[in-house]
Chains A and B, each alone.
With several copies, the nearest count.
Chain A
């Protein structure tokens, strides 16, 4: 009776309609099969793959992860099998599933992004592409693509031109004005936005008196960043008219509802799955229960409801 399905790419011919708004976040669900013994992957709204780069990558040295209060840092360094293996070995598996798989892609030059996107967009089994722009741009002294509206728009535009499937762009939170970046990326052709990627952080190993991670810094994820992610989703939702996929610290149905009410059409869950592999399916079930108990017929009616209420209830 109640409807949990959402559309992530209304501007695109495919629509990218998902049976529910709960996705596995990139880098936290491998290529989608690793958790198959524990959960029914086909019950998810969608799976986002680990970042795929043009060539296979070894990733960073150890240590790669560190626990922090209600969070964790990771500095995996985009270890992945590379485009060819993804196309040859992973995509056929994805094509056999009923759950759509969104390929997360990364690169260090615009050309790399374009080549990966072009190939994947033509590969059966890839339902959409998520552009990870939190990568160092070799051409700009390693500054991340996602840190300026101009470079974020540039890579989005070039990828858009070669990408036939829906295109999600995943924003870095590490900016003064997330709204500016969001607008630039939407203008450049993004069908939807995913936010947020991890926030750069550092832990010092005080015994050894040096940074704990071999990479020095790592990306902060988990419940610790949830209030920041919800705030950014809220801000961007007021400013753009494409669907937003909220991500950052979701560990429960209430957390997912926070994102949806702040303006997200769907959520991704990453670190929450590490802590409890059942989190995503618990949230799918929990949303169903919430809608029924509150007498709401369609989850779409909840998207951004907090902004509409705040307008009437606060003078802010």
Chain B
């Protein structure tokens, strides 16, 4: 973990208002694990003030990813002022990045078949996790939900070996409807589930028909101040009181979380 000035290698629009920025910062690229995030300063002035948390999509440190060892990719959807500023970055620009931060996903030792469920940009850490899992020769299925075809990430973002199943809210690509509707048919196949996406999607996981115990980890989102565990701005209610998404998470065991 460090604060570093990462240099922009590329910054390309891969879906409607969705960009992948490739950054070079060897220490950060080396250390990052799937599910961890970086905290990015957008623009050089006091407005917008706070950094933006963004998951790491892939790192050169994993030889499976075809990018130089000192580089890593971050994917962002342009939803507000900070991400809009990022979309104007050009190769050669410097970005102030803090990270990697947070607890990564943990693949259980016994896991052979990993089911990943992502909504929107929530699939970012799952792609990273898929790469880690493939390195360990697991079978991986990624179920991904998007608003529509224009917002869907191109299939080449996902490793070839992964079974990649897409659902869109409006049916403009893949299955029509919520991605969670796809899960039941994989429940018997999978021996671990990892998910990331909007809160309603994650909450729906608690209501899946369960015939046996399926260890489930989820990556949560909350607005962040420090991302270092001090401001207590990013907490979520858990069975052991409020936990910090930035430090105790973003990855939590599903059963820990108390849903409101």
Cβ-defined partner of B49 (8 Å) among A38, A63, A67: A67
Least distance between B23 CB and chain A CB atoms (Å): 18
Residues on A with C-beta less than 8 A from B222 are: 62-63
Least distance between A148 CB and chain B CB atoms (Å): 29
- Residue A91 CB within 8 A of the other chain: no
Q: Let me know if B231 and A71 touch, CB within 8 A.
A: no
Give the residue name and chain of the B residue nearest to A223 (CB): B46
- Residue B207 CB within 8 A of the other chain: no
Q: Let me know if B46 and A222 touch, CB within 8 A.
A: yes
Q: Which of B221-242 contact A (CB under 8 A)?
A: 222-236, 241-242
Tell me how many residues of B have a C-beta within 8 Å of chain A: 30
Give the residue name and chain of the A residue nearest to B81 (CB): A67
Q: Let me know if B242 and A251 touch, CB within 8 A.
A: no
The interface centre, meaning the residue of B41, B222, B233, B235 with most chain A CB atoms within 10 A of its CB, is B233
- Residue B84 CB within 8 A of the other chain: no
4 nearest A-B residue pairs (beta carbon): A30-B230, A65-B233, A70-B46, A69-B46
Taking chain B's interface residues, is the majority helix, strand, or loop, or is none over half, making it mixed? loop
- Residue A149 CB within 8 A of the other chain: no
Please report the C-alpha to C-alpha distance between residue A35 and residue B246 in the assembled complex, in whole angstroms: 13
Please report the C-alpha to C-alpha distance between residue A64 and residue B245 in the assembled complex, in whole angstroms: 13
Q: Let me know if B233 and A76 touch, CB within 8 A.
A: yes
Q: Let me know if B230 and A64 touch, CB within 8 A.
A: no
Q: Let me know if B242 and A28 touch, CB within 8 A.
A: no
Least distance between A253 CB and chain B CB atoms (Å): 15
Residues on B with C-beta less than 8 A from A70 are: 46-47, 49
Q: Which of B70-104 contact A (CB under 8 A)?
A: 96, 98
Q: Let me know if B228 and A67 touch, CB within 8 A.
A: no
Q: A35 with B49: in contact, given A66-B223, A72-B225 (CB under 8 Å)?
A: no
Q: A34 with B225: in contact, given A275-B41, A275-B50, A275-B51 (CB under 8 Å)?
A: no
Q: Let me know if B229 and A34 touch, CB within 8 A.
A: yes
Which A residues have a C-beta under 8 Å from some C-beta of B?
27-30, 34-35, 37-38, 50, 58-59, 62-72, 74, 76, 79, 222-224, 251, 271, 273-278
Q: A277 with B3: in contact, given A30-B229, A34-B228 (CB under 8 Å)?
A: yes
Residues on B with C-beta less than 8 A from A27 are: 230-231
Residues on B with C-beta less than 8 A from A63 are: 222-223
Q: Let me know if B242 and A79 touch, CB within 8 A.
A: yes
Q: Let me know if A28 and B235 touch, CB within 8 A.
A: no
Q: Let me know if B225 and A74 touch, CB within 8 A.
A: yes
Please report the C-alpha to C-alpha distance between residue A30 and residue B228 in the assembled complex, in whole angstroms: 9
Q: Let me know if B47 and A34 touch, CB within 8 A.
A: no
Please report the C-alpha to C-alpha distance between residue A50 and residue B235 in the assembled complex, in whole angstroms: 16
Cβ-defined partner of A276 (8 Å) among B1, B3, B236: B3
Least distance between B198 CB and chain A CB atoms (Å): 15
Please report the C-alpha to C-alpha distance between residue A76 and residue B96 in the assembled complex, in whole angstroms: 27
Least distance between B149 CB and chain A CB atoms (Å): 24
Residues on A with C-beta less than 8 A from B242 are: 58-59, 79
Least distance between B229 CB and chain A CB atoms (Å): 5
Q: Can you list 17 A-B contacts (CB < 8 A)?
A: A27-B230, A28-B230, A35-B228, A37-B1, A38-B3, A63-B223, A64-B233, A65-B223, A65-B234, A67-B223, A69-B47, A223-B46, A223-B47, A274-B228, A274-B231, A276-B96, A277-B228
